[in-house]
Chains A and B, each alone.
Chain A
């Protein structure tokens, strides 16, 4: 189940918010969750950057089947971070209910889950 090193992006507390550590192309600005030797878009040099804390849900689901090392159900969302990359995040709902977030829902990065995953929560209560 586990590998070394952990491929998931580091979650950082920064200036009172939560951000993701990654890289951005110095030439074209394309963000990456990895630390690649060259930009996937233009071949330019990558520089360290941080992303978040806010973003928009691209899509979402709730996983309800057993996955090794995890306890279902858990909600996942693809989140397009503002001026940042699309990242897969766990959805942490304040009320403990596990639901899909509709595409377009505004979310904010929060501290990572106990399993070390990137996590988001809705910025405003949304009826779904």
Chain B
């Protein structure tokens, strides 16, 4: 494989010094603060940072109650500093990370906590309710149906089969067997995935990520030159362009492609350089479209990555070794930081039975949607790399 590496456009300054997560899944008896405590305590210990060392906190949440972060954080002594809550649909946690990284890179803050949290079982029994102020939400377009529209289009244009779609879930569930924080850890066959009940044609239930309760966190600070640690090669956040009758691509494709291009250019790397990817597989078709849009396969040929095993553990570029959103569950605000934790563990060689051998360069990608007329509320991509040097 040839390398797409070029000289990075700027010096690396931010490092992911520590990560942590709660368990993911349906945890109705846990208070949102308990989810936050578990994730933040682990991230602080991992980073060797005390609450008094923090200069600011960025929080990602979608349905969190007003003050969800301060309610949790004050009780563990994280007070008297800027606490900033952001919302970008499914990309809210990654947006918090992006803001933390940017603040460190620009010197606004030195040591920053990014945390995402969502307690979804209090609010939803099944799919997230469509937003009634939205023209398409009011028309009954639940999120699974938005992705189902992409799947229908891919089936008609590119010959993607029901089995191809199901194979995303099969691959990611096989990965999750080795992830003891995931909601679903049972392997499944293509036949089982296709036999689960239809949600929005052609997507069956097991092709849709489950709602979940969870929190995840990361500590970001300046890179200590000469030490071996996980650094941020680039972080890019974009909102979508107009998605209308002029757009020939399925929803989200152009936003993911353009965000990837910017993130790779900034990092001085290309898609062939990636050793491991955590991407937004909220629905099976999402992973196929995303792997194309970030350049792992030509447009329309993403299903080939599944047929060849390219993106499975043991393949050259594993995608979603954690089991992805399909297996881990998708507590919206927590997801991006859980993806970040997974890539961090992978780059440090701490991922246990799901370790990608020798992983050195990884990508986090999260996609948030729900607004009609744009190609996505937000896409965030973060390129992470393990530096060489003295182990901290």
Contact = CB atoms under 8 A, between A and B. Distances in A.
Interface string A91-116: 00000000010111000000000010
Interface of B: 126-127, 129-130, 132-136, 138-142, 144-145, 148-153, 156-157, 197-202, 242, 244-245, 247, 250, 372-373
Contact of B129 (A60, A67, A102, A118): A67
10 contacts: A7-B134, A7-B138, A31-B245, A61-B151, A62-B201, A64-B198, A76-B145, A86-B244, A88-B139, A90-B140
B104 to A, nearest CB: 35
Nearest to A89: B139
Interface string A19-60: 000000000000101100000110000000000000000111
Main secondary structure on B side of the interface with A: loop
Contacts of A68: 129
A65 B127 contact: yes
Given A7-B134, A59-B156, 9 more contacts: A3-B133, A7-B133, A40-B242, A59-B149, A59-B150, A62-B200, A63-B145, A65-B200, A115-B140
Given A62-B201, A70-B140, A76-B140, A102 B156 contact: yes
B149 A61 contact: yes
Nearest to A56: B245
Nearest to A41: B242
Nearest to A79: B245
Chain A: number of interface residues, binned into ranges:
35 or more
Contacts, number: 103
A65 B205 CA distance: 10
Contacts of A102: 156
Most buried by A among B129, B135, B373: B135
- 3 cross-chain pairs, A with B, having the tightest CB-CB distances, nearest first: A61-B148, A86-B245, A59-B149
B142 A2 contact: no
A63 B156 CA distance: 19
A86 B373 CA distance: 9
B132 A63 contact: no
Nearest to A80: B245
Nearest to B144: A65
Interface of A: 1-3, 6-9, 31, 33-34, 40-41, 58-68, 70, 74, 76, 78, 80-81, 84-86, 88-90, 100, 102-104, 115, 117-118
Given A59-B153, A67-B130, A100-B152, A8 B245 contact: no
B140 A64 contact: no
A70 B137 CA distance: 12
Contacts of B138: 3, 6-8
A66 to B, nearest CB: 6
A59 B150 CA distance: 7
A64 B205 CA distance: 10
A87 to B, nearest CB: 9
B152 A61 contact: yes
A44 B250 CA distance: 27
A51 B145 CA distance: 25
B142 A67 contact: yes
Residue in A2, A65, A70, A102 whose Cβ sees the most chain B Cβ within 10 Å? A65
Contacts of B153: 58-59, 103
Given A65-B126, A65-B144, A60 B139 contact: no
A64 B197 contact: yes
A60 B140 contact: no
B200 A88 contact: no
Given A7-B134, A40-B242, A66-B126, A61 B156 contact: no
B138 to A, nearest CB: 5
A68 B140 CA distance: 9
A100 B201 contact: yes
A64 B199 contact: yes
Nearest to B130: A67
B249 to A, nearest CB: 11
A7 B145 contact: no
A61 B132 CA distance: 20
Contacts of B135: 7-9, 33-34, 88
A88 B372 contact: yes
A63 to B, nearest CB: 5
B157 to A, nearest CB: 7
A42 to B, nearest CB: 12
A61 B283 CA distance: 14
A119 B372 CA distance: 17
A85 B244 contact: yes
